[in-house]
Amino acid sequence: MPTISRRTALGGLAIVTFGAMSPALFASDPYGPKDAEITLVVTDPLALPLACSCVQGYAQRKYEKLAEYLKLKLRKSVRVVWADSIEKAQKDHDLGKKTIFIGKDSVVRHDTKKLSLEVTPIAQLTDTKGSVYQRGVFVVRFLDPAASIVDLEGYKVLCGPEKCDEKSAAPRGKLKELEIETQADEICDTCAIAARKVIESPQSTKVVGVISSYAERLLTGCGTIEKNELRIIGESEEVPFISVFVTSSFDDAEKKLLTESLTTVKETKALLEALESKEGFLAYAQKAN
């Protein structure tokens, strides 16, 4: 399997399976009744309909299983809508009055603000290691002389869209913290685009790409990156990954019941497996800066 290398603190090379986030390879019809009392809008990039099945057991989260669980807990009908943006979900589907959004924390915040939707975060989904965070990963060409982030003085940085904190605010913050002066950033819509631009840039060009940490296992799995094309030289600070938000149509009692229902997902092994999660959902707690 193609791999990307990571330079260790001792200067050696540790092999890491890398992931490239490219447009969704699968589409899925909504799950559940159209007139459901609650609509669950999923923009999680690791949801099966929004990712690919190139890496066995990864990026195949089945949110229809969560819908069935919430249906029993809340005693209300639940419909799931998958989309790569909340704006698209709203355009293509009738979301109803009560809506739950599950997706990348910063992206949900950006999209709902753009649409003038008032939302409140109530929970965060843990990954297979129990973390609710992600990072931005700095990558250079395999033979690039840069060994760490401190070597990026004068480099052009290929960042992600502003709404993706792990590829925008977090890496910029890391460079600022280390007082690294770089060239003007270039925005790349996807990790795959950033990765290919780094690889295909002239050897004399100083360029570094920033890719989401969750994408590492997908880039090579999808065949975007070949062996010894890219090398990881550092990471940004952590930022929240997948969060659950509810619209203002949920009253306090409903929010409490929903939060309690989500935080008991950890008691159902089959559901943890379906969501590729170690501990299910945790009550929302913004990480202090």
Neighbours of 257 (CB within 10 A): 14
Is residue 243 within 8 Å of residue 134, measured between CB atoms?
no
Query: Quick one: pLDDT at residue 25?
Result: 38
**In-domain check, residue 148:** no
pLDDT of 273 strictly over 90: yes
Q: CATH number, domain at 24?
A: 3.40.190.10
Strand, helix or coil at 52? Answer: coil
| Residue 25 amino acid letter | L
pTM above 0.85, yes or no: yes
Query: Quick one: pLDDT at residue 225?
Result: 85
Averaged pLDDT, 229-250:
97
Query: Quick one: pLDDT at residue 20?
Result: 38
Averaged pLDDT, 74-97:
94
CA dist list (Å): 229 to 41, 225, 226, 236: 36, 7, 6, 21
Strands 156-159 and 207-212: parallel
Query: Quick one: pLDDT at residue 28?
Result: 77
Half-sphere exposure of 90 (CA within 13 A, CB side): 15
Tell me phi and psi for residue 268, to 5 degrees: -115, 100
Q: Which residues pair with 283 in a beta bridge?
A: 123
Strand, helix or coil at 91? Answer: helix
Is residue 263 within 8 Å of residue 168, measured between CB atoms?
no
Query: Quick one: pLDDT at residue 154?
Result: 97
Strand, helix or coil at 253? Answer: helix
**In-domain check, residue 115:** yes
* DSSP H/E element including 242: strand 242-247
**In-domain check, residue 96:** yes
Query: Quick one: pLDDT at residue 5?
Result: 61
Give the range of the structural domain holding residue 253, as residue numbers without chain letter: 1-135+216-289
Residue from 253, 179, 240, 177 nearest 212 by CA: 240
pLDDT tens per residue across span 243-271: 999 999 999 999 999 999 999 999 999 99
Query: Quick one: pLDDT at residue 6?
Result: 57
**In-domain check, residue 41:** yes
Averaged pLDDT, 60-86:
97
pLDDT tens per residue across span 135-191: 999 999 999 999 999 999 999 999 999 999 999 999 999 999 999 999 989 999 999
14 pLDDT tier (thresholds 50, 70, 90) = very low
* Domains of the chain: total: 1
Query: Quick one: pLDDT at residue 12?
Result: 29
220 pLDDT tier (thresholds 50, 70, 90) = confident
**In-domain check, residue 110:** yes
> Which two three-digit tokens encode residue 40?
């669950």
**In-domain check, residue 275:** yes
**In-domain check, residue 200:** no
**In-domain check, residue 48:** yes
Tell me phi and psi for residue 269, to 5 degrees: -55, -45
Mean model confidence pLDDT for the chain:
89
Is residue 119 within 8 Å of residue 250, measured between CB atoms?
no
Could you tell me how far CA 258 lies from the centroid of its own chain?
Answer: 23
